[in-house]
Amino acid sequence: MSKHGMKYPIIAIDGPAAAGKGTLARQLAEVLALPYLDTGLLYRAVARRVLDQGGDPAHDGPEQARQLMPEDMRRDDLRTPEVDRAASLVAKEPEVRAALLERQRLFARARGAVVDGRDIGTVVFPQATAKFFITASPEVRAQRRYIQRYGQSCTDSAALAAEVAAINARDGQDASRQTAPLRPAEDAVQILTDGLDAAAVLEKVCQILQEKGIIRV
């Protein structure tokens, strides 16, 4: 049993691009003393390998997914706009998703985990202890992505519009794919985070986990 009284809790955090899933999941993992898995990094690392080989992200993902090594996820060039686009393309491929599925489940086997992605509550861990679907308007998410990338907020409306377009394109692709599309699980708690900073989102989630009896106070 964990100190919170649950055996191997798994907390699933899904949602569209740049909604703040990673920040929330990392902080929540710390609060709950659970391991944290950012599943987007797996798809990004596959995409990076395809790009490095001069391959086509729409077709060459499966081979690279099967050869993925732990060090591929530690590279510092996985969050570029080019990799954003290529990750969403490799992620459409059922063979890529199948090659990564067991790896994700194994990660949580020993001690549970906080896991963020697109299909965690629907496909990877349908029996998760708790599921959250984190959203924000495209404009808010574009601004968050810009700050994450450049360390300051964007004052150039054309640059912000380009970021909104890129986010909308990726969400459209992630939500319309056949295999494991981006969508909230039926039993996920949806949280709209416009106007909420990271601390407020964390507080809200912790409060819900307390109400559900997953965190004991």
User: Contact between 174 and ligand CDP (CB under 6 A)?
Assistant: yes
By the rule CB under 6 A, 60 interacts with ligand CDP: no
Name the residue with the smallest CB distance to ligand CDP. Answer: 40
44 binds ligand CDP, rule: CB under 6 A: yes
Q: Nearer to ligand CDP by C-beta: 62 or 117?
A: 117
Q: How far is the CB of 207 from ligand CDP (least distance, A)?
A: 24
Identify which of residues 44 and 49 has a Cβ nearer to ligand CDP in the complex: 44
Cα 30 off chain centre by = 17
Site map for ligand CDP, 19-38, x if CB under 6 A?
Answer: --xx----------------
Regarding 43 and contact with ligand CDP (CB under 6 A), the answer is yes
Which of 17, 34, 114, 202 forms a contact with ligand CDP (CB under 6 A)? 17
Q: Which of 48, 49, 118, 131 touches ligand CDP by CB under 6 A? A: 118
Alpha carbon dihedral 11, 101, 23, 92, in 10-degree steps, equals -130
Contact region with ligand CDP (CB under 6 A), list: 24-32, 40-48, 130-138, 158-166:
40-48
CB 206 within 8 A of CB 4: no
126 is in an annotated binding site: no
Binding site for ligand CDP (CB under 6 A): 17-18, 21-22, 39-40, 43-44, 87-88, 91, 117-120, 170, 174
